Structure 1
Amino acid sequence: MAPRKKLKTYSEEIGFKKSPRDIGDIAMKALSSSCLVDDKRLATKIMGMKSNDSLETNSSHSVDVKSMKIDEKNAARVLSGAIMEVEFFPTKDTRMVAVGNTYGNVGFWNIDSDEDDDNGIYVYYPHTGCVSGISIHPYSLSKIITSCYDGFVRLLDVEKESFGLAYTSEHPIFSICRPYDNMNSLFIGEEHGSVGSLDIRSSKPNSSWKLHKEKIYTIDFNSQNTKLMATSSKDKTACIWDLRKLDHLNPQPLKLVNHNGAVNLAYFSPSGNLLATTSKDDKIGLMSGANYDVECMINHPNYTSRFISSFRGIWGWDDGFIMVGNTKLKGVDVICAEEKKLTYTMTNRDINAIPCRFDTHPMLPGVLAISTAGGRVYVWDI
C-alpha cells in the first residue's frame, strides 16, 4: 500500500494564541499566526476575486457524487483543534475556504496556491472562544464576518487589512447569517433563543425577536424568497418564519418541526422548495410541499462525542440529495431526497478522522469541502 501524502499545514508557531478582547480595530498583522506570513498576499488575492454577476443558485446542476474524488493537493491541516465552521468564497475564479475553530482562530486556505505561497494557508486569532459563524457574501467578498461564543462579531475588512468590531453582546453568539439580497443586513442567533438583526454599517440592532426557548444553532434564508427564514435550536425544534409577520410579543412560525433531540441545523434546499433538518435524535428531517407541510424523518446516526463538532447535513448543488458525516467509515453519507434514504457513502483512504462540518462551493458544482476535529480540510472535486 502506498504511503499517505504529507498534508499541507499552517505555521506551527500559532499554538493556541488568543485574541485581545479589544473593541477597536485590530490590524491583521497583529492577529497573524506568524511574522513570516505575508498578509498583503492574502489581501491582494481576495481583493482580486471577481464578485458574482447575479445571486442565482445552482439549483439546476446535478452532480454524480460517485465521480467526486480528493487529489493529494486538496488536503491540508489549516488549524489546530476542531473546526466548527467552513465556508467557501462564493466566486467562480478561486477555490478558497475560510474556517474557524474552537480556540477562536480563523484560517484561510487558497486551495490552488503555488508551493512557494506559504501553502496558501493564513491563520489569525480574532476571537477569544469558539468560532460560531463565518459569512462571506457574494456581493462583498472583501468584508468577511465572523462570530464567536465570546459575544463578539468581527468584520474583517481586507482592503483596510484590519479586524473591526461589528457587534458585541453580553451573551454568547451561536449563529449568524446574511440574506442573499442584502450584504449589509446581519441576523444573529443568541443563547436564549433570540434572533436579532442589524445593519453592519452602524453596528446597532434594528430588531430582536424571541423565537426559541434555547440557543439557536443555525439561521438560513430561502434563496428564492429572503423573507422566509429557517432556524434550528437546542430546544428540539426547527422553524420557518415570515419576516413580514414577526412581532415582538408572540411571533408564530409558518412551520414548526419537532424532534426528540437538539436540532443542529435547518437549511433550505438550493431551489428553496425543501427544508432539511439534522437532529441529535438520529433523524434527518425533510420538509416538502407548498407550505412545507409534508414531513418525513429519515434515520441516520448523528451522534458525535463532545470532542467532535456536531453533524450538520447540507444540500448538494440541487434538490436531489443531502450530505452528512459517517462516524464508522469516516466518510460522507449521501441521502437521496426523492427516495428518502441513504444511497451512497463517499470515502477516501487519506481521511483519518470523522468529517463533521461541510460546505459546497456555491459556484462550482461538484466541489465539496469537509473538515475534521483535527483541523484538517479535504476538498472533493469532480
Structure 2
Amino acid sequence: MKAFSSKAESLLLGPSLGAYTESIELGPRSTSASVALSVDVGSSEEDSAPDLDEFSGLSPYEKKRMKNIRENANFFASLQLAESAARLRGMIKKSEPPESKRKRPKKKENEIGCRRSMRLLKVDPLGVSLPASPTQPTLVEEENPLLPPGPLEMIPENQGDSSELFKASLKTWAEMSQTSNEKTKKELSSIKGYKANLRGMVISEATVRKVTSGAITSVALHPSEVRTLVAAGAKSGQVGLWDLTQQSEDGMYVFYPHSQPVSCLSFSPTNPAHLLSLSYDGTLRCGDFSSAVFEEVYRNETNSLSSFDFLDDASSLLVGHWDGHLSLVDRRTPGTSYEKFFNSSLEKIRTVHVHPLSRQYFITAGLRDVHVYDARCLKSKGSQPLISLTEHSKSIASAYFSPVTGNRVVTTCADCKLRVFDSSSISSQFPLLSTIRHNTFTGRWLTRFQAVWDPKQEDCFVVGSMAQPRRVEVFHETGKNVHSLWGECLVSVCSLSAVHPTRYILAGGNSSGRLHVFMHQETRVLE
C-alpha cells in the first residue's frame, strides 16, 4: 500500500512539482498557494474522488490526499512559475556588469601634456623643435670654481678707478697698531658702569651698510682705538672691509679670496695688519695690508674647513675640519705651511677656540657634544678629550672660553638654550652655572646665532635675537639680561656679532650682507 501511494504521488507531481520547488527557491509562496495547501483533512467524507479507479485500493484518507496533491499540482502548473523563473534568470544575467577590468588608454609616444611650457619643451610658438642647447657645466663648477693655489692680489671688486684711494687706505690700515688691555682690565670691576656705557651705544643710518652680496657668515673688528674697521666674510666667498672713519662710499671694499662661504675671520693678535680668513673651500688665507696680497697659509682640497684659532704667538694655527679632523699648522716654515693631521672624537667640528691663558688647551663644538682637548696629547687616530660637556640635546653652533681668564664657557645650542659652564679648573668636569632660554631657531635662510663674550666685561656675552623689534641681547653669566641694543635702523636679524676689545663698538651681520654697527656717543660714562 505504501509503495503504491508513493508511485501515485510521483505520477501526479511530475513537472508541476518541479515548478513549485523553483517557486520556493525564488521567493515566498503566494497567498492563494498557501490556502490551497492548507486543506482540512477532516472533510474527506463529502469529497469523494471520482475517476480515481487507479487508486481503488486506497483508503478514503489516502484518496483525499492524492486528490489534494493533484489539484495543487494543476494549480501551480496554471501559474506558469517555471517560465517566470526562466525569464527572471535571463533578466538577472543581462543586468550583471561585465567582469573585465577597465583598460587604461595607452599613452602615446612623444605626447605633450597639457599646460606645459613650450620653452621647457624646447619648442617655439610655431611648434618647431628648437636646436639643442650646449651642455652647461655643473653648478659647483660654474658658481664655485676652486681658486688657484698661491697668493692672490688684493684687488677690490667694487672699486673702479680709485686705486690710489685704496692704496692710501691700505697704508693707513697697515700703520694701525693694537693697544694693550690694561685699560680694559680696570673696567671689569663694575657692572654698573658697563651698563651705563651700553646705554650710550646707538645705531644710525651712517653705521648701516651693505658690504657683501651674500649672507654674512663671519665678522671681525680691528682692535685699533683710532679708526673703526670692520671685516665681514660672506657665503659667496667674499671678504668685505668697511672703514667707518671715512664717511663716504669709498670706505668700503669687497674682495674674492675664496670660492665658498667664509666661516671664520680674525685679525692677528701679534700683527693687526694681517686679516686671516678660513673658507669651506679648504683654504686659509692671510690678507696682508702692507703688501696688498692674500697669502695662502693652508690648503686642503679633500676636507672642508670650519674654524681656526691662534696658538702660542700666532705663528701656529689650530684648524678644525667639518668631518671632525684637526690640523696644527706652522706658519714659520718657508713655502707651504707644515701640517700635522689629527683625528678628534667628534663627528663634526663647528668651532675651535684656544684657552686665553693655558694655550695648550682648546675647546671644540661638535654635533651634540662639547669637548676640551690638550694639544700636546693629540694623536693621529683616537684622540680622547680631557672633558666632555654632554648637556646639549641638539646641534651646537659654538663654544667659547671667556676672553680674559678663560674661567667660563658659553655655548649656543639649537634647543633654544644658552649655557654657561664653570671652566676655572681644567682638571675636572665643568659644572653648569646657568641655562638661559633664548630663541635660536633661525630657520634655513638665516645664519645661526653664536654667543660671544665681551672682552671689556668678560662675565657678559652678546647674542643675536629673533624678538621684535629687532635687537642684540647682552646677558650676564648668571642668566640675567643686562641690556638690549636696538634702534630704528635695525630692522633685520643680526645673527653674528663682534665686539671691540677696548671701545664700546659692536658690529652685527645679517643674512643679506648688511653690517649694523652700534657705537658709543662722544661722551663716555665711566665709573
1:345 to 481, 484, 495: 484
Determine if the alignment matches structure 1 residue 354 to structure 2 residue 493.
yes
SS state of the match for residue 42, structure 1?
helix
1:293 corresponding residue in structure 2: 430
Range that drifts further, 197-206 or 89-98: 197-206
Q: CA deviation at 1:138?
A: 2.7
Which one of the candidate residues 179, 197, 209 is aligned to 2:328?
A: 197
Match of 1:160 among 288, 291, 297: 291
Q: Residues 56, 260 of structure 1: CA spacing in aligned structure 2 closer, same or farther, 3 A cutoff?
A: farther
- Cα distance per residue 1:61-117 (max 9 Å; x no partner): 3422233222442221111221011101122222101111000000001111143xx
Q: What residue in structure 1 maps to residue 231 of structure 2?
A: 98
1:253 — aligned with what? 385
Q: Structure 1: which amino acid aligns with 2:385?
A: P
Does 2:449 align with 1:311?
A: yes
- Partner residue in 2 for 1:83: 216
Q: Which residue of 2 aligns with 1:278?
A: 412
Q: 1:45 aligns with which of 172, 178, 182?
A: 172
- What TM-score, normalized by structure 2, do the two folds share? 0.64
Cα distance in 1 between the residues matched to 2:178 and 2:467 = 39
Per the alignment, residue 254 of structure 2 pairs with 123
2: CA distance between counterparts of 1:217 and 1:336?
24
How much has 1:333 moved relative to structure 2? 1.8
Superposed CA RMSD = 2.3
Match of 1:333 in 2: 473
Count of paired positions: 359
Corresponding position: 1:240 with 2:372: yes
Query: Which protein, 1 or 2, shows the higher relative CO under an 8 Å CA cutoff with sep ≥ 6?
Result: 1
C-alpha displacement of 1:59: 4.7
**Matched residues in 1 for 2:483 and 2:247: separation?**
34
Counterpart-to-counterpart distance in 2, 1:289 and 1:131:
29
Per-residue deviation, 1:255: 2.3
Residue 368 of structure 1 corresponds to which residue in structure 2?
A: 506
C-alpha displacement at 1:200, in angstroms? 2.3
Rate the CA distance shift 1:150–1:161 in 2: closer, same or farther, 3 A: same
Q: Tell me, which stretches of 5 or more residues in structure 2 are unaligned?
A: 1-141, 189-193, 521-527
For the 8 Å contact 2:471–2:485, the answer to whether it is kept is yes
Query: Is the alpha carbon distance of 1:281 and 1:157 closer, same or farther for their aligned partners in structure 2, counting shifts above 3 Å?
Result: same
Q: SS of 1:224's equivalent?
A: coil
Report the alpha carbon displacement of residue 56 of structure 1 after superposing the two structures with TM.
6.3
AA matched with 1:40: K
Q: Deviations over 1:109-164 (max 9, x none)?
A: 1111143xx44101111111111111211321222211111111122222221222
Shift of 1:60: 4.6
The alpha-carbon distance between structure 1 residues 288 and 60, as it changes in their structure 2 partners (threshold 3 A), is: farther
1:56/1:306 CA distance change after superposition, 3 Å: farther
Instruction: Select the residue among 322, 337, 346 that pairs with 2:461.
Output: 322
User: Match of 2:170, SS?
Assistant: helix
User: Counterpart of 2:273 in 1: which secondary structure?
Assistant: strand
| Unaligned 5+ runs, structure 1 | 1-15
Write out aligned runs for 1:124-203 (5 A): 124-169=255-300, 170-179=302-311, 181-202=312-333, 203=336
CA–CA distance in 1 between the matches of 2:423 and 2:277?
34
Residue 174 of structure 1, CA deviation: 0.9
Q: Which residue of 1 aligns with 2:160?
A: 35
Question: Which stretch of the first structure deviates more once superposed, 297-306 or 105-114?
Answer: 297-306
Q: 1:308 to 1:60 in 2, by over 3 A?
A: farther
Higher helix share: 2
Contact 2:145 2:259 in 1 (8 A): yes
SS of 2:327's equivalent in the other structure is: strand
Q: CA 1:229 to 1:56, structure 2 compared with 1: closer, same or farther past 3 Å?
A: farther
**Higher Cα radius of gyration:** 2
Q: 1:104 touches 1:130 (CA, 8 Å); kept in 2?
A: yes
Question: Alpha carbons of 1:161 and 1:347: their partners in 2 closer, same or farther (altered >3 Å)?
Answer: same
Is the CA contact (8 Å cut-off) linking 1:269 and 1:275 kept in structure 2? yes
Shift of 1:249: 3.8
Query: Are positions 1:225 and 2:358 aligned together?
Result: yes
What SS does the aligned partner of 2:263 have?
Answer: strand
CA distance in 2, matches of 1:59, 1:241: 28
Distance between the aligned counterparts of 2:501 and 2:473, measured in 1?
Answer: 20
- 1:37 is displaced (CA, Å) by 4.2
SS at match of 2:393: coil
Return closer, same or farther for 1:354/1:227 CA change in 2, 3 Å cut-off.
same
1:219, distance to aligned residue in structure 2 (A): 1.1
Give distance in 2, aligned partners of 1:218 and 1:260: 18
Question: Is the 2:398–2:451 contact (alpha carbons within 8 Å) kept by the matching residues of 1?
Answer: yes
Give the Cα separation in 2 of the matches to 1:57 and 1:279.
Answer: 33
What is the CA–CA distance in structure 2 between the aligned matches of 1:324 and 1:360, rounded to whole Å? 11
Cα distance in 1 for residues equivalent to 2:344 and 2:377: 13
Q: Which moved more, 1:54-63 or 1:263-272?
A: 54-63
Which range moves more in the overlay, 212-221 or 299-308?
212-221
1:23 maps to what in 2?
A: 149
Contact 1:55 1:138 in 2 (8 A): no
Identity %: 25
More strand by share: 1
Give the whole-Å Cα distance in 2 for the aligned partners of 1:302 and 1:120.
33
* Corresponding residue SS for 1:87: strand
Task: Report what 1:112 is aligned to.
Answer: 245
